[in-house]
Amino acid sequence: MSFKNQLISSLKTIIITILLILANIAAVLFVDYISSDFTVGPLYNSLIIVIAVAIANSLLWPIFRRFLMKFIILTFGIGSLFINSVIFYIATYFIPGVHVGFYGFWQVPIVMAIATTFITNITNTNYFDSYIKNILRYAIKRKSSYNKQYSGVIMLEIDGLSFNTLKKAIDKGVMPTVKSWIENDTHTLKQWETDLSSQTGASQAGILHGNNRDIVAYRWVEKENDNNIMVSGKLSHAPKIEERISNGEGLLVNGISIANMFSGDSKISALTSSRLGGISRIYNKTLHTIFLDAYNFQRIFILFLWDILVEFKSQLVHDIKNIQPRLRRTPVYAAIRAGANVVLRESTTEILTSEILTGEIDTAYATFMGYDEVAHHSGVEDDDVWSVLKQIDLQFSRLTSAITMSDRDYKLVILSDHGQSNGATFKQRYGITLGNYVRRLLPDDLTVFRSEYNIDHFRDAVLPENKQLQNIKERVENIRDDLFDKSGPIQNIRNELNERKPSIIFENEQYLNLREKYSNSLEYIKGYESVQQSTQKAKDSELIVLGSGNMGLIYLTQWSQRLNYEEIVMLFPDLIPGLVNHSGVGFILVNSLSNGGMVIGQNGIYYLDGDRIVGENPLEDFGKNAPKHLKRQNSFKNMPDILVNSFYDRKHDEVCAFEELIGSHGGLGGNQSKPFILYPSEWENPGDLIGAESIYKFLKREIEKSDSG
């Protein structure tokens, strides 16, 4: 650096320091003016307080941090604010004329932190540039004497950002770091395609463990497990799911997992759902990085509060402009948004910076989830999301600086786990939830269809007898004894059932009535007029309807196994036609006893096993790989009796979620299944990337090359 530049830098530092002192003096005097619980005394005491607090922080914070770190972390950082106040109280206790009461004890340190944050922002001071020096000193203490010579790989996920929305963000200039990598040819940008379902649980399982089989959706019902509802991101469920999918050869075997749903079999993890198991287990030594000085968490807390105000402003703007579609967003959501968009973002960057500077890890995978949270509630490309992406891009710049400072080289990969598709929700469009609509298509009591014979497997109730009949008869021999209640008329026919399996299929009254009227399934779907019932009593039916974005899952939980198409038609003839003829439904997936997977739309049926279409193709607008994804999904355990996918409006690029989310993902249709990966240009072109497991294989191969190189 030239003498002139050094002089300019020094003058800038001096000016900013003076401004910080003046701002803190103003903060002290402001609290003295508005609060009856704090008195500064003589005016010059304000300067003494600022200096005394700075000295006390430098002397006492390391001591408190050393002995109270577990307390700080288990209180989610709030304990550090208490310690800030204790240090402030100690610093002012010996200054004559100063009085600090209970409220002043809390007020002055927070207001001083607000003043400091304000000055650093308006002077465009990058606080991270100074804080990274603290992280470097901390990392050096942890560093081993052996330096690894091969490059590590850092993978950074932007949760929910589609390939197309990323390109728009780059064009808008809100992601300059990513743009520079692409323009300088250091990285290659590529679109990939998710599995079904297109959500974090399935995608991160596939990316981090190479296995997302049987992850039906973000949440699903396990009938054989007393109808337990499993939730991918739930702290008590994520460890169980990871145990099922992991073979010990995850992407992060010698790495760290940060803010992810699953661990990738990492040695170290922080804020990872599958390793927490509960909030009480949040303590982790990697989190020490966040509390290396007295001000850092105060800064994060102030940014947290600011983001809440930004959210309130956004709500006001949406109301004034009457932006549609929009949701009612509560103060609780504002706090959740700020937690994801600020606290987790800053914490993730600082933890990862420490690990990069230490240089021990070979791999890291970290999730930045702020965009996903905001897009869900504001909209996929609403004005709110661009500032969120700008801040995420800033984290990439900071991590690049950390790699430059590190003794070890790291390659950066940026990717997303899925995209999002926009649109008003099912309830907003039609005034009813999917669950309540399904209930209208069912009788008040699910056992109402008790004809002379009821069996667990039924022959095709609609289609004419075909060449598969003999195979079907053989399959029916393997009857499931636990599908029905052990009381009522069902129990009475069990013995008769063993003797009459083939003929009983055709003696079912419901079957005979339907067969007389319709010659095939498509006629039944298009011609049957469903009768809607009152939902007042039906709410007590044994029914669970779950939403995972624009994918709906219908479980008829009186039966402990998945009902097939034939059974559903006989038991609930209103249900399937009522669903597929609703304008909010694009198609449904059911499993047929005779035909396997059936994708049924309003005007056509796609037989997945035979790759055969009758009528119009119900998957026409959902991508060329939709049949492949649905066929794979249909083979999963714990599939719903009926899987529902909303419509996709190609012209307006809209779906409708079965949850109350404007931006959604989980099913098929639009950008939700079109995420991206940005990888070093010197890596081998992986070709088409279809499914999360293909991302795992690509990254695993490059990581192993680096390790052996």
Region 230-252 average pLDDT: 94
Instruction: Give the C-alpha separation, 399 to 620, whole Å.
Output: 43
pLDDT tens-digit series, residues 342-376: 999 999 999 999 999 999 999 999 999 999 999 99
Assess contact for 500 and 407: CB atoms under 8 A. Answer: no
- Determine the 3-state secondary structure of 156 from DSSP: strand
pLDDT tens-digit series, residues 519-551: 677 777 877 777 666 544 434 447 889 999 999
For residues 442 and 554, state if they share a domain: yes
Radius of gyration of the chain (CA): 30
pLDDT at position 656 over 80: yes
For residues 143 and 286, state if they share a domain: yes
Tell me what pLDDT residue 10 has.
Answer: 81
pLDDT tens-digit series, residues 274-306: 998 666 678 888 999 999 999 999 999 999 999
Q: How far is CA 376 from the centre of its chain?
A: 10
- Give the residue among 480, 481, 492 at the shortest CA–CA distance from 451: 492
pLDDT at position 518 over 80: no
Instruction: Give the C-alpha separation, 681 to 340, whole Å.
Output: 31
Tell me what pLDDT residue 512 has.
Answer: 64
Indicate the residue type of 641.
Answer: D
Instruction: Give the C-alpha separation, 637 to 621, whole Å.
Output: 27
Instruction: Give the C-alpha separation, 503 to 115, whole Å.
Output: 83
Give residue for tokens 């999963």. Answer: 636
pLDDT at position 474 over 50: no
- Give the residue among 178, 403, 424 at the shortest CA–CA distance from 323: 424
Question: Considering the chain, what percentage of its residues have pLDDT values greater than 70?
Answer: 87
Task: Give the count of beta carbons closer than 10 Å to the beta carbon of residue 488.
Answer: 11
DSSP class per residue in 273-322: HHHHSSGGG---GGGGGGGSSTTHHHHHHHHHHHHHHHHHHHHHHHHHHT
For residues 392 and 524, state if they share a domain: no
Higher pLDDT, 632 or 518: 632
Question: Considering the chain, what percentage of its residues have pLDDT values greater than 90?
Answer: 73
Element spanning 335, H or E: helix 331-338
Tell me what pLDDT residue 136 has.
Answer: 92
Tell me what pLDDT residue 477 has.
Answer: 31
For residues 532 and 471, state if they share a domain: yes
For residues 295 and 308, state if they share a domain: yes
Confidence of residue 559 (pLDDT cuts 50, 70, 90): confident
Tell me what pLDDT residue 533 has.
Answer: 60
For residues 538 and 492, state if they share a domain: yes
Indicate the residue type of 90.
Answer: I
Instruction: Give the C-alpha separation, 630 to 639, whole Å.
Output: 11
39-48, 115-124, 251-260, 468-477 — which is least confidently predicted? Answer: 468-477
Higher pLDDT, 455 or 687: 687
Task: Provide CB contacts within 8 A for 151, sequence distance 6+.
Answer: 408, 409, 410, 411, 706, 709
Residue 85, preceding peptide bond in cis (omega within 30° of 0): no
pLDDT at position 227 over 90: no
Q: How far is CA 80 from the centre of its chain?
A: 29
Mean pLDDT of the chain: 87
Instruction: Give the C-alpha separation, 501 to 511, whole Å.
Output: 15
Strand partners, 8: none
Task: Give the count of beta carbons closer than 10 Å to the beta carbon of residue 461.
Answer: 26
Tell me what pLDDT residue 461 has.
Answer: 24
For residues 188 and 141, state if they share a domain: yes
**Domain hosting residue 81, numbered range:** 3-122
For residues 374 and 454, state if they share a domain: no
pLDDT tens-digit series, residues 494-504: 344 334 433 44
For residues 44 and 99, state if they share a domain: yes
Confidence of residue 459 (pLDDT cuts 50, 70, 90): very low
pLDDT at position 151 over 90: yes
- Residue finishing a domain among 122, 157, 176: 122
For residues 276 and 346, state if they share a domain: yes
pLDDT tens-digit series, residues 383-437: 999 999 999 999 999 999 999 999 999 999 999 999 999 999 999 999 999 998 9
Task: Provide CB contacts within 8 A for 631, sequence distance 6+.
Answer: 597, 608, 609
User: How does DSSP classify residue 394?
Assistant: H
CATH number at residue 235: 3.40.720.10
Tell me what pLDDT residue 507 has.
Answer: 56
Tokens of 263: 């661990």
Instruction: Give the C-alpha separation, 223 to 388, whole Å.
Output: 40
Confidence of residue 186 (pLDDT cuts 50, 70, 90): very high
Q: Are strands 363-368 and 152-158 parallel, antiparallel or unpaired?
A: parallel
Domain total in the chain: 3
For residues 346 and 434, state if they share a domain: no
Indicate the residue type of 441.
Answer: L
pLDDT at position 149 over 50: yes
Tell me what pLDDT residue 278 has.
Answer: 64
Higher pLDDT, 13 or 619: 619
pLDDT tens-digit series, residues 63-93: 999 999 999 999 989 999 999 999 999 999 9
For residues 210 and 297, state if they share a domain: yes
Tell me what pLDDT residue 122 has.
Answer: 86
pLDDT tens-digit series, residues 378-389: 999 999 999 999
- Determine the 3-state secondary structure of 7 from DSSP: helix
3-state DSSP of 604-644: EEEECCCCEEEECCCCCCCCCCHHHHHHHHHCCCCCCCEEE
Higher pLDDT, 469 or 506: 506
pLDDT at position 446 over 90: no
Region 681-694 average pLDDT: 97
Assess contact for 406 and 356: CB atoms under 8 A. Answer: yes
Instruction: Give the C-alpha separation, 340 to 329, whole Å.
Output: 15
> If 0-12 CB within 10 Å is exposed, 13-18 middle and 19+ buried, where does residue 54 land?
middle
Higher pLDDT, 449 or 178: 178
- Residue finishing a domain among 78, 104, 122: 122
pLDDT tens-digit series, residues 307-338: 999 999 999 999 999 999 999 999 999 999 99
